[in-house]
Chains A and B, each alone.
Chain A
Amino acid sequence: MQCREFREVADSYLSDELLVETNHDMIAHLEGCAECRRELAARRELRTALRASFDKAEELQIRDQFADRVRRELRDAAMIKATPISRRRVWVAIAACLLVAAAVALSVVWQRQRAQTPGQIAGGNRPEPNVAQVKPTDIQPHLAPTAGDADMVLAKMSELAAGDHRDCAINHRLPQSPIDLEEAGHKYDQAFLNLKNAVRSHLTDSNAEIELVGAHACIFKGRWFAHIVLRHRGRLASLLVTRLDHAEGSPAQAKSTEVDQHGQIIACATASGYQISCLRTARHAIFVVSDLAEGENLALARGLAPSVYKHIKSAEDITLVQRLNHARKVDYLDFIAFTRRSSLETISYAGGGNGRRGVRSQHRRTNQRLE
């Protein structure tokens, strides 16, 4: 190693930044070069002097007051961590908690008021007209549907369904004897037709521990019910289907319910000590009533609901098609009869020597009627 090279890297040697091999070369050069030894010692001395003078320079020294203040403030910051951001977060959290607490309290108060106010049923703020005969605590819906009028109808029907289950399936003391379900289907409601088979096939398919005890149509407080009596876990349960009249099942209500529910249980209630789960189609309300536990009754209803809903819905569709066809048939027969009458008139007109005009006028009248 030459002296020039030595001096190039002498500072790196002092900083211990050289490779081991280079260090060896440096040491070897130092052993034989007094001038470089002096230079290296001078640079080391300069570095020491630089560090010492820097450390001792008065104008660079920290003030004790400032040092104490920094230590104190840092300690406070470390222990309290009371930064503006954290304080803001705390206030936001407190505000959120208060808001939630207020909402919960309001909800509880509102629900208590609803439960204590006679004549007000779940889902509707309007007073229920027929609830005078129902004890205020008899009906306590706890899954409040939101579809206003439709829910009020279901609440009203729930009480009737519970009464029918009690008087028919349990106590057998209906004023009028039940009739066969198929007969009622032909006489009163086509949706009752084959309902028993629909339920039976569901029970067969599902392998549920449900026994079909009987099926009939019965009338309770002037309302016809298709009544299928089941036994589940040793308790009697009733599947009740009743047709809603025009006011109860208006098309607007039916439409919203159909769209929203698709055969799902839409409400649960307790009436006269029975658990009631209900759903509805466009023109019918369907109930499952029993004295099973709430969850068991709901599970039973959920199992039955899809097949029963499908059956009732298809019956309603068929009825609708039949009505349309019937209306068309009536119009057609009317048209044929009218045409026949027109033909006779035409003939009579023709016999009168002015047949062409007569036919034209009759055709015009026919067209007007058709329009």
Chain B
Amino acid sequence: MFKSIRQLHRENQWTAFEAEALPHLSALFRLAMWLVRERAEAEDLVQDTFTQALQSFHRYEKGTNCRAWLIRVMFHINSNRRRASARLQIINETDERIAETVAFDPPTPQGLTEEEVLRALRSLPRPFEEVVLLSDIEDMTYKEIADTLGVPIGTVMSRLHRGRKLMRAELSNYANSRGIGHKTGEPSASSAGK
């Protein structure tokens, strides 16, 4: 049986998509689940993301970070949905001010549970949560994050700095409440101000 050129092209495209994009299905779902918090909604978001990605796969540049490309597609779809449902979250000035007023940058505590780490991440205001998530968990570069969120790279850097600072403060609270901290004790004021 002869295959048409179109059919061969489809098969080749599917093979490439299957090899490049589908391995990130689970990771994309975790990210979607973290962002929307409801399983059904996350499944819809992931399905739409991969359907859109399949249709637009010719735009994906081979050799680049496919996971970052998929995440960008997903954030785009998600932001459209949020806008459509009038639940657009804008940067809360109060959150920004809180991040600015965290004067003391505590040392990073150790010996924390996984639950506490995730809770600290969840406690961050959404804009900071997103950049920390994309940088520290998804291991995306600043530029990829800027492209995904549609913000300047400087904004990404400042949000990351403040977000991590807030997160360390939150984790420090957990550590203090449980009586744990640095394995070698708190850093001295002199070392902090070096």
The CB with the most chain B CB atoms within 10 A, among A12, A52, A60, A79, is that of A60
Of the listed stretches A40-48, A188-196, A338-346, name the one at the interface; the rest are far from the partner chain. Answer: A40-48
B83 contacts A by Cβ under 8 Å: no
- Interface residues of B: mostly helix, strand, loop or mixed? helix
A77 contacts B by Cβ under 8 Å: yes
When the two chains form their complex, are residues A3 and B50 in contact, meaning their CB atoms are under 8 A apart?
Answer: no
A53: chain B residues within 8 A (beta carbon): 114-115, 117-118
Cβ-neighbour of A79 out of B11, B137, B160, B164 (below 8 A)? B11
B114: chain A residues within 8 A (beta carbon): 49, 52-53, 56-57
The CB with the most chain A CB atoms within 10 A, among B108, B112, B184, B192, is that of B108
Interface size for chain A: under 10, 10 to 19, 20 to 34, or 35 or more residues? 35 or more
A245 contacts B by Cβ under 8 Å: no
When the two chains form their complex, are residues A42 and B182 in contact, meaning their CB atoms are under 8 A apart?
Answer: yes
When the two chains form their complex, are residues A74 and B137 in contact, meaning their CB atoms are under 8 A apart?
Answer: no
**For residue B184, which residue of chain A has the nearest CB?**
A38
The CB with the most chain A CB atoms within 10 A, among B46, B110, B136, B157, is that of B136
A2: chain B residues within 8 A (beta carbon): 194
When the two chains form their complex, are residues A81 and B22 in contact, meaning their CB atoms are under 8 A apart?
Answer: no
Cβ-neighbour of B54 out of A8, A11, A60, A78 (below 8 A)? A78
CB under 8 Å from chain B, chain A span 186-239: none
CB under 8 Å from chain B, chain A span 1-31: 2-4, 7-8, 11-12, 15, 17
> Complex Cα distance A30/B32, Å?
38
Cβ-neighbour of B26 out of A15, A39, A67 (below 8 A)? A67
A54 contacts B by Cβ under 8 Å: yes
When the two chains form their complex, are residues A70 and B46 in contact, meaning their CB atoms are under 8 A apart?
Answer: yes
> Complex Cα distance A71/B51, Å?
10
A371 contacts B by Cβ under 8 Å: no
CB distance from A47 to the nearest CB of B (A): 5
Interface residues of B, CB < 8 Å — how many?
A: 51
B191: chain A residues within 8 A (beta carbon): 3, 35
> Complex Cα distance A269/B125, Å?
88
Cβ-neighbour of A45 out of B13, B26, B110, B194 (below 8 A)? B110
**For residue A53, which residue of chain B has the nearest CB?**
B114
**For residue A76, which residue of chain B has the nearest CB?**
B14
CB under 8 Å from chain A, chain B span 95-138: 105, 107-110, 112, 114-115, 117-118, 121, 133, 135-137
> Complex Cα distance A17/B156, Å?
12
Contacts A70-B25, A70-B50, A75-B18 known; 12 new A-B pairs at CB < 8 A: A15-B142, A46-B117, A51-B137, A51-B139, A54-B118, A55-B30, A60-B34, A67-B29, A71-B25, A74-B17, A75-B14, A77-B51
